[in-house]
Amino acid sequence: MEGVPVVWNEHTSQTSLNSLGQNQETFSSTHSAKTYGADSRFNGAQFHFHHQSEHSIEGVFYDLEMHTVNLPVHGTENGFIASAMGLMFSVNDYTREMQAWEQEIIDRFFDSLAWETTGTPDEEGHGDSITVKEVPYGDLMMMVDMNNRYTYKGSVTTPPCAQNVYWNVLRTVYPIKSAHLELFKKQLMKNAEICSSSATKGVACTPGNNRVIQDISPDHNPFLISDGKDLSDHTRSIIIPAEESTRMQSMVAAPRAPMAASESSEYLTTVITVLLIISILFLLLAVIIVTKNSFNKPVQYQGVEQATQY
Ligand SMILES: [Zn+2]
């Protein structure tokens, strides 16, 4: 089928990245492998939305959260079934002013999903799907700031809890037009109404689309990846320019204060002094040997004798 299906299932709008034809290795992360033991390369599977956000940042929930589900390129033997990327949107409480071109990318992305033309769910609460010409998902993901994000190991909450998800939540909250958010909420309402009426008929159906999320604990191994700003209130953080792996590894393995400038210059002075003393001792030894030898064999060691005049 030509175009990209935008599917309304019971809970959300979902789009397969396969159908966009650009899902190969759309997400890579050295931090993923080094910190969590998950794969470092992922193929995009699908993206969908939650209202309100499932995650909160410092206690604040936002209007809309977009989740991209990525599947590991090299399989799930390491216990990680997926990597997820959470991207928050808010009508009023976004955290950074956008430049015009950035806002345009966001608007075009939500326009392309055409939520206003989404069909009505059937009487069991199952939604409808439409096909749109294109979805500029790549433009959106290229624009957002991946270098400032929270990561953690999210575990499946039911036993045996062996399957993990490598979670990423971007730190920047992006603006969304009220009109786009309202379209999403309207569709959710439709689903909820159909769902509750089908529930009275005994059809299993759960309204709403945001789950109760557990607090992050040390077991989740949470980190804040930052490009170097404002980390003072985070005890577990990684400062990296762009997932530069060696520096990150040292930050993770041995988080300690960098050597102070005065300490490092003292160290250098000591090393130079020791090397000087050793050199002088060697020179003295050489002078003694040469002097002694030249005394005994002046002709044979003439060259060296000249050197000793220096
Ligand atoms: Zn989700």
Confidence (pLDDT) at 306: 35
| Segments forming the whole domain that contains residue 239 | 4-253
Asked if the bond preceding 22 is cis, omega within 30° of 0, the reply is: no
Of residues 160 and 193, more confidence is placed in: 193
For ligand 1, the distance from its centroid to the CA atom of residue 34, given in whole angstroms, is: 25
For ligand 1, the distance from its centroid to the CA atom of residue 245, given in whole angstroms, is: 28
Do 286 and 147 share a structural domain?
no
Strands 223-226 and 237-239: parallel
Q: Is the pLDDT of residue 267 over 70?
A: no
For ligand 1, the distance from its centroid to the CA atom of residue 156, given in whole angstroms, is: 13
Residue that finishes a domain, picked among 253, 269, 293: 253
For ligand 1, the distance from its centroid to the CA atom of residue 296, given in whole angstroms, is: 91
Count of structural domains within the chain: 2
Confidence bin at 126 (pLDDT 50/70/90): low
Do 287 and 248 share a structural domain?
no
Do 269 and 235 share a structural domain?
no
Strands 80-90 and 174-175: parallel
Do 278 and 208 share a structural domain?
no
Confidence (pLDDT) at 5: 87
For ligand 1, the distance from its centroid to the CA atom of residue 298, given in whole angstroms, is: 90
pTM of the entire predicted model: 0.71
Q: Letter for the amino acid at 81?
A: I
Do 11 and 91 share a structural domain?
yes
What DSSP string runs through 149-214? EEEEEEEPSSTT---EEEEEEESPPEE--HHHHHHHHHHHHHHHHHHHHHHHTT------S----P
Do 245 and 266 share a structural domain?
no
Where residue 64 sits, what CATH number does that domain have? Answer: 3.10.200
Convert the pLDDT of each residue in 39-85 to its tens digit.
Answer: 999 999 999 999 989 888 888 889 999 999 999 999 998 999 999 99
Q: Is the pLDDT of residue 278 over 60?
A: yes
Confidence (pLDDT) at 158: 61
Confidence (pLDDT) at 98: 96
For ligand 1, the distance from its centroid to the CA atom of residue 12, given in whole angstroms, is: 9
Do 107 and 77 share a structural domain?
yes
For ligand 1, the distance from its centroid to the CA atom of residue 59, given in whole angstroms, is: 19
For ligand 1, the distance from its centroid to the CA atom of residue 129, given in whole angstroms, is: 18
For ligand 1, the distance from its centroid to the CA atom of residue 45, given in whole angstroms, is: 12
Asked if the bond preceding 160 is cis, omega within 30° of 0, the reply is: yes
Of residues 155 and 81, more confidence is placed in: 81
